[in-house]
Amino acid sequence: MFKVYDFEVFPNDWMCVILNLANNRIIRIHNDKERLQSALSSKDILVGFNNYHYDDIILWAILTDQNPYEISKQIIDSTFRRKVSCGFLTLDVKQELINKGLSLKEAMANLGMNIIETPVDFQQEALSPEEVETVFNYCENDVRATGEAFQKREDYFTSKFEIIETFKLHPSDVKKTRANLASSVLKAFKIKSHKRDRLKLSYDKRLKINELPKSVVDFYNNIHMSYLEGGSVTDLEKRQFEYKLAGLIHTYGFGGLHAAKENYLGEGHFLHIDAKSYFPTLKINNGFISRAAKMPERYEKIYQERLKYQAAGESKEEIYKILLNAAVGACKSEFNALFDPQQFNNIVVNGQLILTHLIVLLEPFIELIQSNTDGLIVKYEDKSFRPIIDEIINRFSKHYEITFKVNEINKIAQRDANNYCVRYSDGKIVAKGIMKNFEGGTWERNSLSIIDTALVNYYMHDIPIQKTVINMFKKDLSAFQLVAKQGKFEGLTCEVFEDGQMKMKQLQKVIRIFATNDPKRGGAYKVRDEKYQKVSNSPEQVIVWNGDLKDFEKRKIDLNWYVKMIQKQLFV
């Protein structure tokens, strides 16, 4: 049974709120260890937000008769070093988020929830009944937000449970990251050989070196030789080499290959040429599986099982995909048992060179629009070239034993390699970067998503920016919010007109900002060393609203500011 929980700790008080997801029932516990124990069962799976680093430890402290406030102070001061177990299987909603710095309050702001922080001082020695009630309300709000976020991450946690069941791992392994699960599946034990051969590069036996640009090959060969002569690994892995290929500047190094026509808008005949399971395929084709894996044959078995489930259209293929990809990244993770940087370097270098070879072969028949790690977007003007392009890709695929998926695109708007949107021939739109959230913000990111929506509508559907702004204003107020957080600064402030003059008002650590034309409102700032830095992308006049979004008076919003701000984002 999943139960979401959260602790609030004071010098002489602790409070816990538990939400049973099965029946939506809330339990409030105040300084009562026995009630806490009775509220939990050994069959429960406890869910929290950042609980691996806080709430789990507080639960352990209470159950073992430690002083929770002293333990809390040690956690906050980063002086708590012990490895402890609270005695329950727990899940942390924050684990492996793309936005590693996401706070619960920020997530709540993204969801349109009330993010007003409790006014009760956490250093307060004694709490009145009214203050206890206030803290409980605050805590319950956090718990419900965590429950909603947990449900939105259902696929992530389900995949981990399925990996454990499929490969007969211990149930407690669900607390591991997917990369650490991959190391468990492959029975990995750390090796030390990486200290001797990290940059001894090996090339794919299928690679036709003589058909590649000589200067690109020389770049990697020179790194290899410099390493053998005692060169610094740190310096060598930072080296980059720029080369103009098919009209675009490509940067070679130890990451994915990227290049793009900048500020580009085009319609016509485009192809998205995508290498399927690119890095895992390179691992298998060349034996680039981590040498720390004591059962490397399992990797190829996982790969084949994924292909089988994928062909059958079964969702189970996703857990195999997760393991395959996680094992790639784990090779470069120093704290993972699969750590083997030589194999990771081999994968990325060969990945770049093979993609380069494909570009060289296609160049006479296409215009290169984008190169992006494991795929290309190309344009062809003459329809008679399409069979030739298909034949090149088909032969290339057989030679390198790599599967490519080719989809037609009829329109693309591209600021650069990381910010673009495309419309496929079936009408589907895919966007990245500043246009990624064109269908609306998510619980992880929901700040000025009106930009994403308006740009995609403008470039893909020829809809004027003003029209998008007005339509979104009618149906989704969250598209206009700017979520700002204190971060490493000392505080947040905003200007308000009081007693005949503009004054600075102190704000909480996470705020929700809207543009306004109210003359009694000023800007929002981050503060450090008594210096004020304007919140990035914020208007000159702001309304800060931290209550539930449905209670906000939207007539106060200045829509013209959003229109002008979006117009500045236009790149072509």
Half-sphere exposure of 227 (CA within 13 A, CB side): 22
Strands 531-534 and 521-528: antiparallel
Report the predicted TM-score, pTM, of the whole model to 2 decimal places: 0.92
CATH class of 2-152: alpha beta
What is the predicted pLDDT for the residue at 417?
A: 93
What is the predicted pLDDT for the residue at 191?
A: 85
Q: In this structure, are residues 514 and 481 in contact, taking their beta carbons and an 8 Å threshold?
A: yes
Q: How far apart are CA 158 and CA 45, in angstroms?
A: 13
Strands 241-245 and 419-424: unpaired
DSSP labels, 210-260: GGS-HHHHHHHHHHHHHHHTT--HHHHHH--EEEEETTEEEEESSS--EEE
Residue extent(s) of CATH 3.90.1600.10 domains in the chain: 178-424
Q: Which two tokens stand for residue 180?
A: 């650490």
Long-range contacts: 96-100, Cβ < 8 Å, 24+? 96/156, 96/177, 96/178, 97/444, 98/444, 99/444, 99/445
First-to-last C-alpha distance (Å) of the chain: 53
What is the predicted pLDDT for the residue at 315?
A: 84
Largest Cα–Cα distance in the chain? 81
List residues bridging with 26 in a β-sheet: 19
List residues bridging with 483 in a β-sheet: 512
pLDDT per residue as tens, the chain (572 positions): 899 999 999 999 999 999 999 999 999 999 999 999 999 999 999 999 999 999 999 999 999 999 999 999 999 999 999 999 999 999 999 999 988 899 999 999 999 999 999 899 999 999 999 999 999 999 999 999 999 999 999 999 999 999 999 999 999 999 999 999 999 999 999 887 656 799 999 999 999 999 999 999 999 999 999 999 999 999 999 999 999 999 999 999 998 899 999 999 999 999 999 999 999 999 999 999 999 999 999 999 999 999 998 889 888 888 899 999 999 999 999 999 999 999 999 999 999 999 999 999 999 999 999 999 999 999 999 889 999 999 999 999 999 999 999 999 999 999 999 999 999 999 999 999 999 999 999 999 999 999 999 999 999 999 999 999 999 999 999 999 999 999 999 999 999 988 888 899 999 999 999 999 999 999 999 999 989 999 999 999 999 999 999 999 999 999 999 999 999 999 99
DSSP state of 535: P
By C-alpha distance, which of 485, 478, 481 is closest to 439?
478
Q: How far apart are CA 337 and CA 389, in angstroms?
A: 42
Long-range contacts: 125-134, Cβ < 8 Å, 24+? 125/10, 125/11, 125/12, 126/12, 127/10, 127/12, 127/13, 132/13, 132/15, 132/30
What is the predicted pLDDT for the residue at 68?
A: 98
Residue extent(s) of CATH 3.30.420.10 domains in the chain: 2-152
Other C-beta atoms closer than 10 Å to the C-beta of 368 total 20
CATH class of 178-424: alpha beta
What is the predicted pLDDT for the residue at 498?
A: 86
Q: How far apart are CA 26 and CA 231, in angstroms?
A: 61
| Sequence-ordered strand ranges (E) for 284-403 | 367-372, 375-379
What is the predicted pLDDT for the residue at 195?
A: 63
